[in-house]
Amino acid sequence: MTQESPQTRDTILAGQVALITGGSRGIGLAVARRLGELGARLAICGRRAETLSQASQALSGEGISVLTVVADVTRAADVASMVQKVEAELGPIDILVNNAGMGIFGPFHDRSETEWDTVLNTNLKSVFLVSRAAVPAMIRRRRGRVVNISSLAGKNTFPGGVLYCASKWGLMGLTGCMAEELRTHGIRVSVICPGSVATDFSPLAGRNPAALLQADDVAHAVVAVVTEGPHSFISEVSLRPPQKS
């Protein structure tokens, strides 16, 4: 196998447009940084303009330009406007990373309908809405990458995880169906399933952050997926730390 030169590697995504949902912090920001370092034209979205501005400033300080879009990805109208804005300012989307997510934890019988809707809409419905908006242009061009950020909780259960696990198990099914439908159009759909990541998202009280996955670990997996060769695709990646914390 011919090894890529550093110069080739640094620009391997040059000219490609990448949209990362929930891209203003944590895993999403780490993914945006890595794709930007590889030459992608970046767009990130989030609900808070202030957080997006902070992310944009951080990336700009590293020489990475990014388009920020305030959007609630659980709302179809916001999603449609966001995709239109990205396509108008950057071009057709080549890489979509569905990263937006959240969790509410605790005994299932104490959870409310509102909490159920909040978690399922954020973690599952948003992937459907954003993918539905971005994929038609990929189909027309017969190329594209969709990477959904799930979790090991999409394949394993644990006490107190009913809402989160339900959303991530659903995401695994959604991803599998999307992959089968879209592969005939030249579009590769993959899912990444990390264990606990040291961000401000997870309930990690009492655990050593150094023994957990880092956001950059997930970003590394995304890069591996979107830079592989043209004759196969990595359909699923499970990420675990070397040792249990």
Tell me the pLDDT tens digit for each residue of 19-41. Answer: 999 999 999 999 999 999 999 99
* Catalytic residue list: 164
71-91 pLDDT, tens digit per residue, is: 999 999 999 999 999 999 999
Q: Is residue 88 assigned to a domain? A: yes
Q: Is residue 6 assigned to a domain? A: no
Q: One-letter amino acid identity for 173?
A: G
Extract the tokens encoding 163.
């809402």
Residue with tokens 């490609």: 16
pLDDT at 3: 46
Predicted structure pTM score: 0.92
Q: Rounded CA gap, 29 and 127, in Å?
A: 18
Q: Is residue 212 assigned to a domain? A: yes
> Domain count of the chain?
1
pLDDT at 241: 86
Mean predicted confidence (pLDDT) in 173-199: 95
Q: Rounded CA gap, 47 and 188, in Å?
A: 28
Q: Which domain holds residue 34?
A: 13-239
pLDDT at 35: 98
From residue 79, alpha-carbon distances to 67, 129, 194, 230 in Å are 15, 7, 26, 29
Q: What is the CATH number of the domain that holds 30?
A: 3.40.50.720
How does the average pLDDT of the chain come out, rounded?
A: 92
Q: Rounded CA gap, 151 and 237, in Å?
A: 10
pLDDT at 10: 73
Q: Is residue 178 assigned to a domain? A: yes
Q: Which stretch of DSSP H or E encloses residue 66? A: strand 66-70
Q: Is residue 39 assigned to a domain? A: yes
Q: What is the DSSP letter of 184?
A: G
Q: Is residue 244 assigned to a domain? A: no
Q: Is residue 7 assigned to a domain? A: no
Contact 67, 42 (CB under 8 A): yes
